[in-house]
Amino acid sequence: MFSLTFLGTGAAEGFPGVFCACPACERARLAGGRNLKTRSCALLEETILIDLSPDIFPQALALGINLSKIESIVFTHTHADHLNLYALMSRANENAAIFPDSAHGKGSIDVYGNNAVGRAIELGFIENPAFRRERMVYHPVKEGDSFRTGGLNFHALPANHKKDEDCLLYIVENGEDTLLYANDTGSLSEKSFDIIREYGKRFNVVSLDCARGLLPGDGHMGLAEDLATIDRLRAMGVIDTSTTLLLNHFSHMSGITPDEFSDHIKGYGLSLAFDGLEVKV
Ligand SMILES: [Zn+2]
Ligand SMILES: [Zn+2]
Ligand SMILES: [Zn+2]
């Protein structure tokens, strides 16, 4: 068993959208609580992040998370709501991140991601030449790759999201318990289903992109695509009635608040992930 904490569960603009006055955002502002969604990223156990949200600092403060314990960050892609380069580079700034004890070694962090993530890091060091390169060890990842970090195994799947970048989704497992973390993406490709089939084990938890809500999918999924994905995974035998099914990366686009959408999806056996939700995988 390992823990998955959703630090943020909103789409790029957040919920309510930062500068948005649409009716859904106005209702979300009034209702508060789980209607307030920061930009998506997730914590695995205490030492691994999937993505680094522009909201990572307030997320850590709100949830009492000590980010100095983070040993690896696994990126899905470089959209600015997932790769906060400013926060990432501060990890390489010895004036900003001080590691006085030897438990952290040289204070290095392992960063996993596609080539665009590697290029972003290169740019970060060009802009900040005084920062310490040895503090950030970049590991290139492409679809079909597997790697191990922080005691968990990751298997990269192709996302269907951004034309000029090989965006990734991840199967995460500890040898027994398995998570599918799948945002940002439109409907999964046959290649992704092939990798899931090859992996072959049942998922304990599945988290699917649902930025589109009640709208048809595009580079993100909506409820219709989520239900079709779940049917397919069920037919493949990798989910069953004990699998926790969560929707994530929810946007104001379809004009419905998180609470309203949560009510809507209950009948399908689905839950909308919310900021601070911790699940045991
Ligand atoms: Zn996103
Ligand atoms: Zn809005
Ligand atoms: Zn994106």
Domain positions in the chain: 3-280
pLDDT tens digits, 113-167: 999 999 999 999 999 999 999 999 999 999 999 999 999 999 999 999 998 999 9
Q: How remote is the CA of residue 247 from the centroid of ligand 2, in Å? A: 19
Q: How remote is the CA of residue 80 from the centroid of ligand 1, in Å? A: 8
In SS3 terms, 52-105 reads as ECCCHHHHHHHHCCCHHHCCEEECCCCCCCCECHHHHHHCCCCCCCCCCCHHHC
Give the ligand with the smallest distance to the CA of 10. 1
Residue 251 predicted with pLDDT over 90: yes
Give the ligand with the smallest distance to the CA of 11. 1
Q: How remote is the CA of residue 168 from the centroid of ligand 3, in Å? A: 10
Report how far residue 115's alpha carbon sits from residue 214's, in angstroms, rounded to the nearest whole number. Answer: 33
Residue 103 predicted with pLDDT over 70: no
127 or 101, greater pLDDT: 127
Q: How remote is the CA of residue 174 from the centroid of ligand 2, in Å? A: 39
Q: How remote is the CA of residue 83 from the centroid of ligand 1, in Å? A: 10
Q: How remote is the CA of residue 17 from the centroid of ligand 2, in Å? A: 5
Report how far residue 276's alpha carbon sits from residue 38's, in angstroms, rounded to the nearest whole number. Answer: 10
pLDDT of residue 156: 98
* 6 touches 275 (CB < 8 A): yes
Report how far residue 111's alpha carbon sits from residue 177's, in angstroms, rounded to the nearest whole number. Answer: 23
pLDDT of residue 100: 76
* H-helix or E-strand spanning residue 182: strand 178-182
Of the pLDDT bands very low, low, confident and very high (cuts 50, 70, 90), residue 102 is low
Read off the pLDDT of each residue in 14-35 and give the average, rounded to a whole number. Answer: 98
pLDDT tens digits, 209-246: 999 999 999 999 999 999 999 999 999 999 999 999 99
Of the pLDDT bands very low, low, confident and very high (cuts 50, 70, 90), residue 107 is confident
Q: How remote is the CA of residue 214 from the centroid of ligand 2, in Å? A: 15
Give the ligand with the smallest distance to the CA of 257. 2
Three-state SS for 260?
A: helix
Report how far residue 179's alpha carbon sits from residue 168's, in angstroms, rounded to the nearest whole number. Answer: 14
Give the ligand with the smallest distance to the CA of 50. 1
Q: Domain 3-280: what homologous superfamily?
A: Ribonuclease Z/Hydroxyacylglutathione hydrolase-like (3.60.15.10)
Q: How remote is the CA of residue 216 from the centroid of ligand 2, in Å? A: 18
Ligand 1 is an ion; its neighbours by CB within 5 Å are: 12, 81, 184
For residues 190-207, one letter each, b for 16 or more C-beta atoms within 10 angstroms of the residue's C-beta and e for the rest, the string is: eebbebbeebeeebbbbb
